[in-house]
Amino acid sequence: MYIYPLSKPILLSVLFVKEQLKEPVAVLWIVISPAVTFYLISYARISGEEATRDYASATSWFYAFISSSVALFGLAFYIVGRRESGFLRSFVYTRRTKLTFLVGQFLAYSFMSVIYCSVFYVLTRGYFGSMAMEEWIIIVGRFYMCFLLFSTPSLLLTLLPIGFQNTNTLFSMISVGMLALGIGSLNTSHPVLNVIGIFNPMEWANRIMTMGVFESAPVVAVVVGLISVTGWLVFRFLLINPVWSRY
C-alpha cells in the first residue's frame, strides 16, 4: 500500500509560514483590528453587563471573524494569488505536485490559524482576568474547528475563474456580509434573518466558540464531512493557469 510522504508538504508549509511572517503588518492586522474593536466596544458599554459575561461568550464573534479572515484571506486568497502569479503553472503540473502544494498550503495556514488565535487570546484575556493553559487549549481547539468550517466555502471559491483583484473584492464582501448578518440576527426575530442564519457559517462558528466542539457535535460532523469533500474537489478541479493567460 502506497503511503503519501508528508516530508515535502511539511517543508513547503514551513516556507509558506516564513513568507507570511515576512509581512508582520499584514499578519498582525487581522488580529489587532478585532482586538482594538473588542476593547472599544467593551469600554463603550455603560452598564456592567459585560463584566458578568464569560470570556467565551464575550469574544465568540471576534474569534469567528478572525477564523473566517484566515480562511478567506490566508488559505484561499494565497492559492488564487499563486495561480495568478504563474506559480502554479510553473511548479504544480502533476497530480503529485498539486497534492504537495495543497497539503503544504493547508498545513501552513493551520499553523497560522493557531498563531492568530493565540495572539488574540493574549491581547484580550487580561480584560477578564488571568490566562490559563487549559482555557487556551480549549479556545484553540474551538477556533481551529471554526477555521475548518470557513475553509470549506473559501476553498470552493478558489475554483472560480476570477482574477486576483476581483477575488479580493469578493472575499471582502462575503466576510463583511457574513458578519453583518450574524450580528444583525442577534437583535431581531425576523423569520428571514433566522432562515439566513441557518446557512451563515458565522452563526455556526459563533455556536462552536460558545458551546464547544463536543457540545456542537452535529455541526462538527458536518464540518469534517464538508472539508473532506471540499479537499477532493479542489484537488480535482483546481485551476492551474492564470485567468489572464486565457485571453
- Mean pLDDT check: name the lowest of 11-15, 120-124, 165-169, 183-187: 183-187
Res 196: pLDDT: 67
Band (pLDDT 50/70/90 cuts) for residue 194 is: low
How far is residue 41 CA from its own chain's centroid? 23
What does pTM read for this prediction? 0.88
What per-residue confidence (pLDDT) applies to 246? 57
Which range (89-93, 105-109, 183-187, 243-247) has the least confidence? 243-247
Of the candidates 77, 164, 158, the one whose C-alpha atom is nearest the C-alpha of residue 112 is 77
Q: Number of C-alpha atoms within 13 angstroms, CB side, residue 184?
A: 15
Residues 6+ apart with CB under 8 A from 244: 84, 163
Q: Distance from first CA to last CA of the chain, Å, rounded? A: 43
Sign of CA dihedral 214, 216, 221, 223: negative
Q: Is the pLDDT of residue 129 over 90?
A: no
CB-based burial of residue 133 (10 Å sphere; 0-12 exposed, 13-18 middle, 19+ buried)? exposed
Alpha helices in 71-132 (DSSP H): 77-84, 87-91, 95-125
The mean pLDDT of the chain is 84
Neighbours of 232 (CB within 10 A): 9
Least confident of 19-23, 176-180, 216-220: 216-220
**Residue 190: predicted pLDDT:** 64
Res. 100: pLDDT tops 60: yes
Asked whether 38 and 62 are in contact (CB, 8 A), the reply is yes
Please give the pLDDT value at position 198: 73
Average pLDDT over residues 40-46: 71
- Residue 83 to residue 145: CA distance in whole angstroms: 27
Q: Are 125 and 31 in contact (CB under 8 A)?
A: no
Q: What is the pLDDT of residue 52?
A: 47
Q: Which of 36-50, 89-103, 127-141, 161-175 has the lowest mean pLDDT?
A: 36-50
- Cβ atoms of 209 and 146 within 8 Å: the answer is yes
Higher pLDDT, 161 or 3: 161
Give the angle subtended at the CA of 21 by the CAs of 17 and 27, to the nearest 5°.
Answer: 110
- Does residue 234 have a pLDDT over 80? yes
CA distance 65 to 60: 9
| pLDDT above 60 for 48 | no
Res 2 pLDDT > 60: no
Helix H or strand E segment including 49: helix 49-52
146 has a pLDDT exceeding 90: yes
User: Cα separation of 58 and 7, whole Å?
Assistant: 40
1 confidence band (pLDDT: 50, 70, 90): very low
Dist CA 171 CA 75 (whole Å): 12
What number is the average pLDDT over the span 223-236?
A: 91
